[in-house]
Amino acid sequence: MAKNFPDGFLWGGAVAANQCEGAYNEDGKGLSTQDIAPRGIMGPITEEPTEDNMKLIGIDFYHRYKEDVKLFAEMGFKTFRTSIAWSRIFPNGDDKEPNEKGLQFYDDLFDECLKYGIEPLVTISHYETPLALAKNYDGWVNRKLIGFFENYVTIIFNRYKDKVKYWLTFNEINSVLHAPYMSGGIFTDKEKLSKQDLYQAIHHELVASAKAVKIAHEINPEFKVGCMILGVPNYPLTSHPSDVLEAVKQDRENLYFADVHVRGAYPKYMDRYFKANNIKIQMEPGDEEILKNTVDFISFSYYMSSCATADEEKKKTGAGNIISGVPNPYLEASEWGWQIDPQGLRYMLNLLYDRYQKPLFIVENGLGAKDELIVDEKGNKTVIDDYRIKYLNDHLVQVGEAIEDGVEVMGYTTWGCIDLVSASTAELRKRYGFIYVDRNDDGTGTLERYKKKSFDWYKEVIATNGKSLVE
Ligand code: BG6
C-alpha cells in the first residue's frame, strides 16, 4: 500500500523542442546542432540539413501544439515539460537582438498550457546548441558561451516571468562526458577532444547554470530552478570490494555534476581525478562565488540501471541510454537493450535524497517500444500497449515506495508523452507516447494523432493521484 502521492504532485509528460517541433527553419529559427545530425546523438553529422533527418519535421508540434496540449489536458496533466529551442530565440547564439517570432511561439505555447491549468516546466538547453556557436566557438569549450547563455536566459526569464515557474538549466548535463557534440555543442571530434578541454567546457556549463539560477531569482523570486542529471545508478556487479569501489567511482562521474549544483562547490574527490588526468580547471575570479548559487531542486531522467566491475575482462559494455555499463544478470531489457529496473528508481531517489535532502523531480521515464496501430471494435485506430502500462505502473509503484521512505518527490513526467523522434537513434519507430503519431521513418504518414490504451490508463492514475496503480 505505497500509493500516498502528496497533494499537488506534478503529474505530466515531457518532450524536447528538437524532437517534436519540426519547423527547423521557420519564423527566423537558426540551425541547431540537431539539424545536421540525422542519425542521433552518437551518429555522424552532415554539412547541411538532409531530408532523411526526421527532426526537421519532427511530429510537427510547432503547428499542431494546440491539438496536442488539448490531449494532455484531457489526460489531466498538471505539468508539461518542454524545452525552448535556443536557436529560435537567438538564431546564431551570439546575436545582439532576439528573434521576436521565436519568443512569440513560446508565449503562445505556454498560454495554451495555462489555459488548461497545466504548469509549464521548461528546459533551457536540451541538446540543441545553436550551430553557429558549435562551429565558430567550439561550443562550451569557449568561455564566451557563458555570456551568450546569460543573454539568452535573461531574455526568456523576463519574457515568461508570469507564465513559467519551473526551469531546468541543461538537460542531462553529465551526458557531455559521452556526447560532447550534442550535449555541449563541442565541434571538435570526440576522439580528438582532450580531457582538459572537456572538463573546462563542463566548468563553463556549471558556471553558466549557477548564473542562470542567480538571474532567475533576481527576475522572479518565485522561480524554482533545477539541475537535470542523466540518472543511471551503478550497482557493483559482485560483492567484491573492488567492484563496490568501482561502482562508487562510476556514480561519482555523474554525481559530481549534481554535487556542484547542490553544494555550490567542486567536491574534494574531483581533485584526485583532475590531478591524475593532468587537468587544470581555469577558474576566473568570481567563479567560485557564482557557483554558490545553488539549485532549488534536482531533476533527473531514469530509464535503467547498470553494473560496474573492476574486472577488465568482464567490462563488456551493454546497450544503454548514452551511459552504459555491464548488463545486470537479474534484469530484462527493452527492445533497444535498455535494462528495465523499476526498483532502481526507488534506489536512485533514496540515493539522491540521502545525499542532498533537496526536492527531487523525475522528469523522464518511459519505455521506447515498437507499437502496432490497429482498429478496435468501435472502429477507432489505437495501440494496445500493455507493455508500456506495465513499465510505467511498476516504476510509479516504486516512486510511491520512495515517498513512503521519506523522499520528497515533486512530480513525475513521462518521457515522450506523445510519440517523437528518438534522441539516440533519431528514429520514430521507437515510441514512448500515450498518443500515437502517424509518421514513419521513411517519411510517410499523415501526422494524425491517435490515443493508445495507455492514454486512459494514465488519465486514471492522475485522477486518482496514484491510487489506481497496481502493486
Ligand atoms: C534522454 C534524453 O536521454 O533520453 C531525451 O533527455 C531522450 O532527449 C530520452 O529522447 C530517451 O532516449 P531515446 O534515445 O530513446 O530517445
Q: For 392-398, what is the mean pLDDT?
A: 98
Which of 149, 225, 226 lies closest to 185 in space, CA to CA?
149
> Considering the domain boundaries, does residue 411 fall inside one?
yes
Say if residue 2's pLDDT is above 60: no
Q: Give the residue, by CA position, lying nearest to ligand 1 atom 12.
A: 423
β pairing state of 234-236 and 166-170: unpaired
Q: Give the residue, by CA position, lying nearest to ligand 1 atom 3.
A: 321
Q: Give the residue, by CA position, lying nearest to ligand 1 atom 15.
A: 422
How many angstroms is it from 38 CA to the middle of ligand 1?
15
pLDDT at residue 315, as a whole number: 77
In this structure, what are the phi and psi dihedrals at residue 374, rounded to the nearest 5 degrees?
-125, 170
Taking only the tens place, the pLDDT of each residue in 41-64 is 888 999 999 999 999 999 999 999
Least confident of 3-7, 140-144, 362-366, 437-441: 3-7
Q: Give the residue, by CA position, lying nearest to ligand 1 atom 16.
A: 422
Taking only the tens place, the pLDDT of each residue in 181-198 is 999 999 999 999 999 999
Atom of ligand 1 nearest to the CA of 416: 10
Q: Give the residue, by CA position, lying nearest to ligand 1 atom 5.
A: 423
pLDDT at residue 321, as a whole number: 64
Confidence class for position 312, pLDDT limits 50, 70, 90 = confident
Q: What is the mean pLDDT of the chain?
A: 96
Q: For 78-93, what is the mean pLDDT?
A: 98
How many angstroms is it from 253 CA to the middle of ligand 1?
20
The CATH number given to whatever domain includes residue 384 is: 3.20.20.80
β pairing state of 435-437 and 449-451: antiparallel
Taking only the tens place, the pLDDT of each residue in 329-342 is 999 999 999 999 99
| Alpha carbon distance 20, 67 (integer Å) | 14
pLDDT at residue 68, as a whole number: 98
> Considering the domain boundaries, does residue 440 fall inside one?
yes
| Alpha carbon distance 250, 308 (integer Å) | 7
> Considering the domain boundaries, does residue 5 fall inside one?
no
Q: Are 35 and 56 in contact (CB under 8 A)?
A: yes
Say if residue 157's pLDDT is above 60: yes
Distances (CA, A) of 340 to 16, 84, 148, 254, 291: 23, 30, 39, 20, 35
| Alpha carbon distance 305, 418 (integer Å) | 24
Taking only the tens place, the pLDDT of each residue in 239-264 is 999 999 999 999 999 999 999 999 99
Atom of ligand 1 nearest to the CA of 172: 6
Task: Using the structure block, give the residue that is written with the C-alpha cell 569549450.
Answer: 141
Report the alpha-carbon angle 22-366-44, nearest 5: 50
Among 321, 324, 421, 441, residue to substitute to test ligand 1 (most atoms within 8 Å of Cβ): 321
Which of 179, 129, 173 lies closest to 299 in space, CA to CA?
173
Say if residue 316's pLDDT is above 70: no
What's the predicted TM-score (pTM) here?
0.97
Cell numbers of 100, please? 521576436
pLDDT at residue 4, as a whole number: 83
pLDDT at residue 3, as a whole number: 66
How many angstroms is it from 322 CA to the middle of ligand 1?
9
Atom of ligand 1 nearest to the CA of 41: 14
Among 415, 422, 427, residue to substitute to test ligand 1 (most atoms within 8 Å of Cβ): 415
Query: Which residues 6+ apart lie within 8 Å of 297 measured at CB?
Result: 224, 225, 226, 358, 359, 360, 361, 410
pLDDT at residue 24, as a whole number: 98
Q: Are 434 and 417 in contact (CB under 8 A)?
A: yes
| Alpha carbon distance 143, 208 (integer Å) | 10
Q: Give the residue, by CA position, lying nearest to ligand 1 atom 14.
A: 424
Cβ neighbours of 278 (radius 10 Å): 9
How many angstroms is it from 425 CA to the middle of ligand 1?
9
How many angstroms is it from 285 CA to the middle of ligand 1?
36
Q: Which residues are catalytic?
A: 364
Confidence class for position 280, pLDDT limits 50, 70, 90 = very high
Q: For 26-30, what is the mean pLDDT?
A: 98
Q: For 381-409, what is the mean pLDDT?
A: 98
Atom of ligand 1 nearest to the CA of 430: 15
Domain that holds residue 45: 10-464
The number of distinct structural domains making up the chain is 1
> Considering the domain boundaries, does residue 234 fall inside one?
yes
> Considering the domain boundaries, does residue 274 fall inside one?
yes
Taking only the tens place, the pLDDT of each residue in 284-298 is 999 999 999 999 999
pLDDT at residue 427, as a whole number: 97
Atom of ligand 1 nearest to the CA of 338: 15
How many angstroms is it from 367 CA to the middle of ligand 1?
10
pLDDT at residue 42, as a whole number: 83
Say if residue 232's pLDDT is above 90: yes
Cell numbers of 61, please? 508540434
pLDDT at residue 124, as a whole number: 98
> Considering the domain boundaries, does residue 409 fall inside one?
yes
> Considering the domain boundaries, does residue 3 fall inside one?
no
Pocket of ligand 1 from Cβ distances under 6 Å? 16, 19, 171-172, 230, 301, 321-322, 364, 368, 415, 422-425, 430
How many angstroms is it from 92 CA to the middle of ligand 1?
25
> Considering the domain boundaries, does residue 4 fall inside one?
no
Q: Give the residue, by CA position, lying nearest to ligand 1 atom 8.
A: 423
